[in-house]
């Protein structure tokens, strides 16, 4: 099956979920910083007939409603080897925790790569499914998010850990 998409209305605004073949390849907000052209999303799918997109939307809605903590979906983001390394690290950041661009840079082998890590995080085409909202600045301040800082804040508040763990980095 080719590239196709569905749109879902959420309290974060409309979200477009894109599938390519048998995997989810994108999640984009309406005013997403690096949102591809609509043609790149393929035709709109019938969510009742597309089991993969149906499941992705179900899991996304459950997550946003606080009923789901993790996602169990086949993901296939397009990116280079460095981006995939960064995205794999981002995927390992547990719900209720955050990390910094510098810490990710250290994990890839060189703290001086923090800016390049930031670029890779910003290029993540699977926002929410690959939780780039959990990456913050070195002081813990909220920094860029392709969906906007209000959405980043809302996602972090949704995932807020118990009071004893507040502010803890993973």
- Active-site residue set: 132
Is beta strand 23-29 parallel, antiparallel or unpaired with respect to 13-20?
Answer: antiparallel
Angle between helices 114-122 and 81-91 (to 10 degrees): 80
What distance in Å separates the CA atoms of residue 9 and residue 143, rounded to the nearest whole number? 25
Q: Around Cβ 44, how many Cβ atoms within 10 Å?
A: 14
Using DSSP, state whether 59 is helix, strand or coil. Answer: helix
Instruction: Name the helix (H) or strand (E) containing 150.
Output: helix 149-158
Asked if 8 and 15 touch (Cβ cutoff 8 Å), the reply is: yes
What distance in Å separates the CA atoms of residue 52 and residue 123, rounded to the nearest whole number? 23
Among candidates 95, 63, 96, 90, which has minimal Cα distance to 77? 90
């Amino acid at each position: 099956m080719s590239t196709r998409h569905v749109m879902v209305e959420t309290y974060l605004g409309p979200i477009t979920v894109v599938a390519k073949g048998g995997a989810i390849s994108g999640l984009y907000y309406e005013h997403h910083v690096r949102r591809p052209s609509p043609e790149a999303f393929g035709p709109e799918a019938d969510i009742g007939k597309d089991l993969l997109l149906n499941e992705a939307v179900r899991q996304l809605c459950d997550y946003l409603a606080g009923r789901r903590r993790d996602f169990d979906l086949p993901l296939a983001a397009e990116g280079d080897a460095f981006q995939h390394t960064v995205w794999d690290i981002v995927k390992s950041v547990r719900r209720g925790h955050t990390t910094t661009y510098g810490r990710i840079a250290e994990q890839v082998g060189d703290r001086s790569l923090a800016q390049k890590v930031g670029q890779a995080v910003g290029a993540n085409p699977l926002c929410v499914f690959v939780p780039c909202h959990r990456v913050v600045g070195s002081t813990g301040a909220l920094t860029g998010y392709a969906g906007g800082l209000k959405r980043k804040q809302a996602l972090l508040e949704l995932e807020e850990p118990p009071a004893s763990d507040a502010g803890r980095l993973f």
